[in-house]
A and B are shown apart, each in its own frame.
Chain A
Amino acid sequence: MSTSPQDLKGHLNKLVIVGGGTAGWMAAAAMARVLKGGSYRITLVESEAIGTVGVGEATIPSLPAFHRLLGIDESQFMAACQATFKLGIQFADWGQVGVKYLHPFGPYGIATNHGLFQSYWLKRRREGYASALEEWSVTALAASLGRFGTTQSNPAALKGLSHAYHLDAVLYARFLRAYAEARGVERIEGKIIEVARSPFGRVEALGLSDGRRIEGDFFIDCSGFEAIIAEKTLHAGFEDWSCWLPCDRAVAIQCEKSNNGLVTRATAREAGWQWRIPLQHRVGNGYVYSSAFLSDEAANADLSARLEGAATTTARILRFKAGRRKKAWTGNCLALGLAAGFLEPLESTSIHFVQSGLARLFALFPDGDLDPALSAEYNRLTALEYERVRDFLILHYAATRRTDSPFWQHMGGMPLPDSLVYKRDMFLNTGRIVVLSEETFQPASWLAIYAGLELWPKRHEPNIDLLPFEGLVRQFEGMRGEIRRAVETLPAQPS
């Protein structure tokens, strides 16, 4: 029995994960690794009858760090998950039709302070010496030249080279399942029909359709949009952000590949945007749209007509709502993944949210007393993290000059969250990028989007005028050549 006062004093021993999608198996794998040596018993309950949302997934560079924590070998992982390298996101037609820009991973310049680079670049631009931002990023240049990997000489410029992956989420869950099961995680196949709670509100057990009862001390709800414990049982609440991010559907189709590419593509469309995620064996495609502006049929037809190769799957429609679970952690249940919130995959943050949620859980790991101070802190930090990313995503839409469809007219005139207005106006009026706490995207990323959307500050930061300008020109212009030479030493990727 998990509710006797005695047990409440000790550790939480039985950890139960609900759901075997990407989030569930990431949680299982990470817990098996991090809690190694303790007396924890980790169980994951999933039902093969329930599909997972997993489509082709794009990620950000925190994922390689997650794999390092787990001790996962990169080439093994890539082979198992049909994964490819990703160096950034190529945006097309967002600010206006016909304009493309790249949001690369990693910093601009070589071992330089971002603020200094930004001031320099903006000042040169104002003076008429415009250079493409991409030329200053080793990652961006590698992406556009189709090069990536490691080199013998390892020049300094390559320190800024940063990568993530495109992966098949179903294969990834399978890969992590093998990892977790090899490290003692027990998998239970079954459909949950009941969540049993103690008189004090604590979740005690899951009742399965075959009559089995799975007891637990702490539950990780990775059941997806349904949030079977967090919402359906504990009513943790949902903060709806669809007023700012009105896209509520996606149609997804896989197709044969005509070429590779080291970037995710996000192309703005009539009522939303289209993704292209190249894997080793195929390409994942999707159209994220707002059902208020486009029918499912029209979205499907539009996406189907634009595929670069023959479709290998039929179209799947996904329904969602932008927002976050008000209390991701309630009592003895923590929601992760889609159960904790949803932000459209425009900046490939879904897997990252799972990862950072796990990192926070480990930093605030509960024991038997389940002190509410821990969940309060977890929820405070999680709320901030989601809001920061939300604002970053909204910026992509809000600065549009497109008026060619009702959707874009709506997006261009939409009122914005105060926090985003503050940041945007600070940039426009002072050239300064405001970094708040729990920010996922750093100033280099914000600059990429501002510049890509052609939002320019009224003035450059005057700090730059304090430094001898000729020296700066020599230093920075030298960097461009150095970056190019460094990228040319990288192996060419098959196109």
Chain B
Amino acid sequence: MTAALIPKVVIVGGGSAGWMAAAALSGLLGRRIGEIVLIESSEIGTVGVGEATLPTLRAFNATLGLDEVDFIKKTQATFKLGIEFKDWAGPGRTFFHGFGDFGPALRGVSPHQLWLKLRTHDDTDSYSRHSIASMAAAFGRFAPPVPDRDSILASYSYAFHFDAALYGAYLRGHAQRRGVKTRDARIVDVRLRAQDGFIESLVLNQGDPVKGDLFIDCSGFSGLLIEKTLNAGFEDWSHWLPCNRALAVPCASAAELTPFTRSTAKEAGWVWRIPLQHRIGNGYVFSSHHVSDEAARHTLLKTLDGEPLAEPKLLKFTAGRRRETWKKNCVALGLAGGFLEPLESTSIHLVESGIGRLVELFPDQSFEPKLAQEYNRLMQQSYESIRDFIILHYRACHQAGDLWQHSRTMAIPETLHHQMELFKARGVVALHDSESFAEPSWVSLYFGLGLIPRRHDPMADLIEEGALRQEMDRRVRLVAGAAQSLPTHAEFIERFCKAAR
């Protein structure tokens, strides 16, 4: 047995990111890591509200060996087929960004190009009828996709809504069973090694200091190690994403359990609605330059489906990313690594990919600088591609108000500008390295926000129109029938994965 590459990993912070890291890294104990200690403080709260996720979470949970049904029951989780965007495309209009595709290409021509060719002038939303995820969501239905790849019921995917505090607790149990130790304390000082400025130990408000070899900073916005100690730097993106606050409040459940997250555009931001089994998570992400906290609170409370279950909680943030999420012997995950508003539910996803890449680029005590360099390059790509995708929502939103007026006219990143021009010209989706969202996602957003290309792909004109129309009609019928055949979301949960009250 060779000695562990890293004798001791110290994780700072017991929020979702911290426990996700602990649970995942605990799989390396005894083989690559000697011991893992997580430091959390019961005095410091976590940000954790109702969380919506992306389908990649399922792969993450599977890697940990979690049982899906058990996980759902323990975290009050519900299923998510995508996000419904309300009032983004104009007052009273909704569109859906579902997990899944819109049917196969024909003669190499993408399905959205086929639809563009046939669409009538005033039709901007019938494309969603090609998506099982969209249709099932519209009917309030859910069942997992079937494994048979040829079936139409294989062409979508799903994620979860869950209670982040419960998820943290669930992973905590998992990690502790696998040998992760915890300390309940506050960090009062960080000691650095004189020779190279690496973190040597953390001084706590009680008990002995904690030494370590690799430190995972999951301390949230403050970036206690990565920023306050190592000054990794922050790239501020608030000129593109001016929302800098959120108010979050849970409320009692409504009658129908929807299998999707809802995002509703408001005058100075947008409101999320995340249905869990036992309650609904709600929040208003807004720009403090455009609305007061009090007015935002008022707006939020008016949107609730049921009785508020707590006083709204205020969070403050700045959009952007840590310039180096891995510096010296410290890797920052979660909010310590960067912040992008939860408009596309990417926070947990970024933690997953941060952990995945750390495992892939795992260091030994020599901390080869190239590993950090590659890690930072890849994380930068992920943050930037998600940033661009989120900016697109703002850029093309039809809401009234100063915030949106600004967003519609501001200069946008060159990468996004190129992508949008290409789509507007001809419906081509350009993807960059480490793109988190694939072509169907971009198309959902463009079409949903009313960005209809000036032209369709001339290759679509090589297909005989009558036959194409028949095929597309057939698909719509097939999708509708398949979506209707599923049980309702509530029925499915009741039957297979109901949480104990």
Interface positions of A (Cβ within 8 A of B):
11-12, 34-38, 362-367, 369, 371-374, 376-377, 380, 425-426, 429-430, 432, 434, 436-437, 458-459, 462-463, 465-466
Cβ contact within 8 Å between A462 and B422: no
Task: List residues of chain B with CB within 8 A of the CB of A35.
Answer: 462
Q: Which B residues lie at the A interface, using CB under 8 A? A: 2, 5, 28, 31-32, 108, 359-362, 364, 368-371, 373-374, 418, 421-422, 424-426, 428, 430, 432-433, 454-455, 457-459, 461-464
Q: Which of B361, B424, B462 contacts A38 (CB 8 A)?
A: B462
Contact B426 A373 (CB under 8 A): yes
Determine whether the beta carbon of A376 is less than 8 Å from that of B364: no
New A-B pairs, 9, CB < 8 Å, besides A365-B458, A371-B426: A37-B464, A362-B108, A373-B424, A373-B425, A374-B426, A377-B430, A430-B370, A430-B374, A432-B361
Bound-state CA distance A458–B369 (Å) is 13
Cβ contact of A374, chosen from B361, B369, B422, cutoff 8 A: B422
Q: Which residues of B contact A36 (CB under 8 A)?
A: 462
B459 near A466 with CB under 8 A, answer no
A36–B107 alpha-carbon span in the complex (Å)? 11
Q: Given the known A-B contacts A362-B459, A367-B458, are A462 and B425 also in contact in the complex, defined by CB atoms under 8 Å? A: no
Out of A363, A374, A429, name the residue touching B368 (CB < 8 Å). A429
Could you tell me if B454 and A434 are in contact, using CB atoms closer than 8 angstroms?
no
Contacts of A432 in B (CB 8 A): 361, 374
A11 and B461 contacting across the interface, CB-CB below 8 Å: yes
Query: Do residues A380 and B32 form an inter-chain contact, with CB atoms below 8 A?
Result: no
Inter-subunit contact A369/B454 (CB<8 Å): yes
Q: Could you tell me the distance between the alpha carbons of A380 and B415 in the complex, rounded to whole angstroms? A: 11
Complex Cα distance, B364 from A365, in Å, reads 50
Interface residue from A371, A458, A459 paired with B454 (Cβ < 8 Å):
A371
**A174-B418 Cα distance, complex, nearest whole Å:** 40
A-B contact pairs, 23 of them (CB 8 A): A37-B462, A364-B428, A365-B459, A366-B458, A371-B455, A373-B422, A373-B424, A374-B422, A374-B425, A374-B426, A376-B421, A377-B418, A429-B368, A429-B369, A429-B371, A430-B361, A432-B361, A436-B433, A437-B432, A459-B364, A462-B32, A463-B362, A465-B2
Shortest CB distance B459–A (Å): 6
In the complex, which residues of chain A have a beta carbon less than 8 angstroms from the beta carbon of B374? 426, 430, 432, 434
CA distance A362 to B428 in the complex (A): 12
Question: For A37, what are the chain B residues with a Cβ–Cβ distance below 8 Å?
Answer: 462-464
Q: How far is the CA of A458 from the CA of B428 in the complex (A)?
A: 43
Give the complex CA separation of A140 and B362 in angstroms: 32
Q: Is the beta-carbon distance between B364 and A429 smaller than 8 angstroms?
A: no
Docked Cα-Cα span, A434 to B373, in Å, equals 12
Specify which chain B residues have a CB less than 8 angstroms from the CB of A426 in the assembled complex.
370, 373-374
Which residues of chain A are within 8 angstroms of B454 by Cβ–Cβ distance? Answer: 369, 371
Contacts of A369 in B (CB 8 A): 425, 454-455
Establish whether residues A462 and B433, one from each chain, have CB atoms under 8 Å apart when the complex forms: no
Listed residue (A12, A38, A429, A462) with the most chain B CB atoms within 10 angstroms of its CB: A462
Q: Are the C-beta atoms of B424 and A465 separated by less than 8 Å?
A: no
Contacts of B425 in A (CB 8 A): 369, 371-374
Chain B hits for A459, CB < 8 A: 364, 368
A463 touches B360 (CB 8 A): yes
Q: Is the CB of A38 within 8 A of B461?
A: yes
Contacts of A12 in B (CB 8 A): 458
B31:A466 contact, CB within 8 angstroms: yes
Q: Give bound CA distance, A373 to B421, whole Å.
A: 6
Q: Are B32 and A466 in contact (CB under 8 A)?
A: yes
Whole-angstrom distance from the CB of B300 to the nearest CB of chain A? 40
Measured between beta carbons, the chain A residues less than 8 angstroms from B464 are 37
A12 to B, closest residue via Cβ: B458
Q: Which residues of chain B are near A11, meaning CB under 8 Å?
A: 458, 461
Q: How far is the CA of A491 from the CA of B374 in the complex (A)?
A: 45
B364 pairs with A462, CB closer than 8 A: yes
Known contacts A38-B462, A365-B457, A462-B5; A377/B428 CB under 8 A: yes
Asked if residues A465 and B31 are in contact (CB atoms below 8 Å), the reply is yes
Q: Whole-angstrom distance from the CB of A319 to the nearest CB of chain B?
A: 36
CB-defined contacts of A436 to chain B, threshold 8 Å: 433
Nearest B residue to A436 via CB reads B433
Q: A363-B428, A437-B433 are in contact. Are A376 and B422 (CB under 8 A)?
A: yes
Docked Cα-Cα span, A380 to B433, in Å, equals 13
Nearest CB in chain A to that of B459: its residue:
A365
- Among residues of A, the one whose C-beta sits closest to the C-beta of B2 is A465
Question: Smallest Cβ distance from A110 to chain B, in angstroms?
Answer: 23
Complex Cα gap A127–B461 (Å):
60
Q: In the complex the two chains form, what is the Cα distance from A465 to B360 in whole Å?
A: 12
Chain A residues closer than 8 Å to B458, beta-carbon distance: 11-12, 38, 365-367
Q: How far is the CB of B461 from chain A (nearest CB, A)?
A: 6
A381–B283 alpha-carbon span in the complex (Å): 41
The CA of A35 and the CA of B461, in the complex, are separated in Å by 10
Q: How far is the CA of A367 from the CA of B453 in the complex (A)?
A: 13
Identify which of B2, B418, B432 contacts A376 (C-beta below 8 A).
Answer: B418
Picked from A34, A367, A465, A466, the residue with its CB within 8 Å of the CB of B455 is A367
Q: Taking the nearest CB of chain A, how far is it from the CB of B436, in angstroms?
A: 15
Across the interface, which residues of A come within 8 angstroms of B364, CB to CB?
Answer: 459, 462
Please, which residues of chain A bring their CB within 8 A of the CB of B359? 463
Enumerate chain B residues within 8 angstroms of A466, measured Cβ to Cβ.
28, 31-32
In the bound complex, CA of A377 to CA of B420 (Å): 11
In the complex, chain B residues whose CB is within 8 Å of the CB of A463: 359-360, 362
Shortest Cβ distance from B501 into chain A, in angstroms?
41
User: Which residues from A are CB-within-8-Å of B428?
Assistant: 363-364, 373-374, 377
A365: chain B residues within 8 A (beta carbon): 457-459
Residues of B within 8 A of A366 (CB): 458
Expressed in whole angstroms, the Cα–Cα distance for A99 and B31 within the complex equals: 39
Measured CA separation A374–B147 after assembly (Å): 38
Assembly CA distance A380 to B432 (angstroms): 11
User: Is there contact, CB below 8 Å, between B457 and A430?
Assistant: no
Chain B proximity of A467: nearest CB distance (Å):
10
Given contacts A373-B426, A374-B425, A376-B421, is CB(A429)–CB(B462) below 8 Å?
Answer: no
Q: Which residues of A contact B426 (CB under 8 A)?
A: 364, 371, 373-374
Give the chain A neighbours of B430 by CB distance below 8 A. 377, 380
Bound CA span A369–B234, Å: 43
